[in-house]
Amino acid sequence: MATLLLSILIFFLGASVGSFLSVVVYRIEKKKSGIIFGHSFCPSCKKRLRSRDLVPIVSYLMLRGKCGQCGTKISPIYLFIEIVTGLMFLSLYFRYPFLESASLESATLSTPLLISFTFFAIYTSFFVAIFFYDLKTKKIPDVFLFPLILFTAVGTLTLGTPSFVSVLLALAIAAVFFGGQIVVSKGKWLGEGDFYLALALAIIFGWELFVTNIVISYFLGAIMGIALLATKKATKKTAIPFGPFLVLGAIITIFFGQDLMNLYLSNLTI
Ligand SMILES: [Zn+2]
């Protein structure tokens, strides 16, 4: 029971962060001031949202996807971002169950798990913002990238994993593989933003999982590319942003990277 209650709370914590992220993405894209502390308002009627219109997921469903004051339709993408972030936080909680017990009174808190949960919750929040922003604008803004790199450096130092040598190797791979592609293609295949994102992923994962991340991302990218070409939604010249595939690959790597790597390695030795 306590676990169920806690799971719901963690999900809504994630959904609230998702709600915040969609506002951040909107404001950075429209170059609005007050990225963090400004009041939320309806982009159509410019009225400030009432607090009861700000409950993640619930408000959207109650208002049937419309502004509570002028009735303008609100894109379901906002609801989607809230649900996705909520599910992400919940999955992270199952991976790092920092509070476990039969009842809330006898709950014991595991500080190491809480720290892991917190850092990975921060990383995935950045990933969600980068995913939707890059998909929309084909750019990754510096205001996401440099704080993310800073958080990953602090996170890896705090968690003590991956090792320093592993991170250095991963950074070298990122520099050669992504830096090389940018130089060779003069920035046509990959943008500078993808490069900085790759550095952050290298710091999070260390070289083995970072390589896993890259393989998954290119695999997803290839599937998407083939699907777009087959359905004639794109030609060979269409520029598809790579950032969304990198973060999607990173999320898969967080949850399944170790298993995928073990699977690969066990098949290799047979
Ligand atoms: Zn409105």
Per-residue model confidence as pLDDT tens digits over 190-245: 889 999 999 999 999 999 999 999 999 999 999 999 999 899 888 877 778 899 99
Predicted pLDDT of residue 235: 81
Give 80 Cα–ligand 1 centroid separation in angstroms.
20
| pLDDT over 70 (residue 260) | yes
Measured CA to CA, the distance from residue 99 to residue 86 in angstroms comes to 18
**What's the chain's average pLDDT?**
90
Compute the distance between CA of residue 97 and CA of residue 109 in angstroms, rounded to an integer.
Answer: 9
**Residue 74 Cα, ligand 1 centroid: separation in angstroms?**
9
Burial class (CB in 10 A: 0-12, 13-18, 19+), 175: middle
How far CA 120 is from CA of 91, 148, 201, in Å, comes to 11, 11, 12
What per-residue confidence (pLDDT) applies to 115? 97
Percent of the chain scoring above 70 in pLDDT? 94
User: What are the C-alpha distances in Å from 2 to residues 8, 13, 102, 128?
Assistant: 10, 16, 6, 28
Between residues 188 and 140, which one has the greater pLDDT?
Answer: 140
Closest CA to 133 of 217, 38, 197, 55: 197
**Mean pLDDT, residues 19-28 taken together:** 88
User: Where are the alpha helices (H) located in the chain, listed in sequence order?
Assistant: 2-29, 58-62, 76-95, 111-137, 142-159, 164-174, 180-185, 192-230, 243-269
Q: Which of 13-22, 32-41, 115-124, 230-239 has the lowest mean pLDDT?
A: 32-41
Give, as residue ranges, everything with CB less than 5 Å from ion ligand 1: 42, 44-45, 67, 69-70, 72
Is residue 105 scored above 90 in pLDDT? no
Is the per-residue pLDDT at 18 higher than 80? yes
CA-to-CA distance for 36 and 28, rounded, in angstroms?
10
Task: Give the confidence band of 175 by pLDDT, cuts at 50, 70, 90.
Answer: very high
**Phi and psi, residue 48, nearest 5°:** -65, 140
Give the per-residue pLDDT at 37: 53
Q: Is the peptide bond before 162 cis (omega within 30 degrees of 0)?
A: yes
Contact partners, residue 188, CB within 8 Å, separation at least 6: 239
What count of other Cβ atoms lies within 10 Å of the Cβ of residue 129? 26
Position 108 scores a pLDDT of: 84
Ligand 1 center to 22 CA (angstroms): 17
143 CA → ligand 1 middle, Å: 28
Report DSSP letters for 82-101, one per residue: HHHHHHHHHHHHHHS--EE-
**Looking at 4-8, 84-88, 265-269, which range is the least confident one?**
265-269
Q: Is the pLDDT of residue 141 over 70?
A: yes
How far, in Å, is the centroid of ligand 1 from the Cα of 51? 14
Q: In this predicted structure, what is the pLDDT of residue 38?
A: 56
Averaged over 241-268, what is the pLDDT?
93
Tokens of 124: 């995935």
- Give me 111's structure tokens: 């500080």
Tokens for 155? Answer: 């996170």
